[in-house]
Amino acid sequence: MADTPEITREGAEAHRPGATMNASEMEAWFVREVLPLEAILMQYLRHHWHNKGEVDDLRQDVYVRVYEFALKELPVPAKPFVLATARNLIIDRIRREHIVPIEIVADLETLGLATDTPGPDRNVMARDELRRLQAALERLSPRCREAVALNKIDGLSGRQIAARMGVSEATVSEHIDKGMCALADMLYGEPSEMARRK
């Protein structure tokens, strides 16, 4: 192989549809391009939806729509597409539920401008990231935090954590599961400190 160099021209970067990607490429795309928008998305949904208890479900529906669209055609850039999807979803829901919204759901541009600067950081300054992770860990309830830290910092397994904390493995599982969900909400659903500072 080294003797017969294969060399090919490269065109402009092609945006191939998600359907031609394998699951892990699709996951990588989603984690890289869509999840960093979650804070903005949540802000939008909370602002425009009357029932705060349903916002997580709306987020899920937005993600499913984005994913299904991406299988056909990868939206590039992702941000306007995700926000437009959120708006359409809310309009659909309003129609379906015959709600008369107090605020008109529109305003995408305003929101887009207000939140445009920070954007998803591909190369997050490492120290900001570590600080953010620490802050998230600190906000977990004490037992939950201990279980997560014993796994993430000390590398212990579920069984070892149970022994260390003197509780059953089932209890450790509860702590860990709760921690996983809370961390995703904090790390994706909330604006990073860096974004807040700006």
C-alpha–C-alpha distance, residues 187 and 19, integer Å: 28
33 lies in the binding site for other proteins (CB under 8 A): no
For the record, the structure tokens of 70 come out as: 């991406």
Q: How many CB atoms lie within 10 A of CB 38?
A: 21
User: How many amino acids of this chain bind other proteins (CB under 8 A)?
Assistant: 67
**Cα 168 off chain centre by:** 31
SS3 180: helix
For the chain, how far is it from start to end, CA to CA, in angstroms? 51
User: x-or-dash pattern for other proteins, window 159-198, by CB under 8 A?
Assistant: --x--xxx-----xx--xxx-xx-xx-xxx----------
Comparing C-alpha atoms, which of 40, 59, 195 is closest to residue 129? 195
C-alpha–C-alpha distance, residues 12 and 54, integer Å: 42
Site for other proteins in 47-66 (CB under 8 A): 56-57, 59-61, 63-64
Q: Taking the complex as a whole, how short is the minimal distance between the CB of residue 2 and other proteins, in angstroms? A: 5
Q: Taking the complex as a whole, how short is the minimal distance between the CB of residue 91 and other proteins, in angstroms? A: 19
Chain contacts with other proteins (rule: CB under 8 A): 1-3, 5-10, 23, 27-28, 30-31, 35, 56-57, 59-61, 63-64, 67-68, 122-127, 129-131, 133-134, 136-138, 142, 145-146, 148-155, 157-158, 161, 164-166, 172-173, 176-178, 180-181, 183-184, 186-188
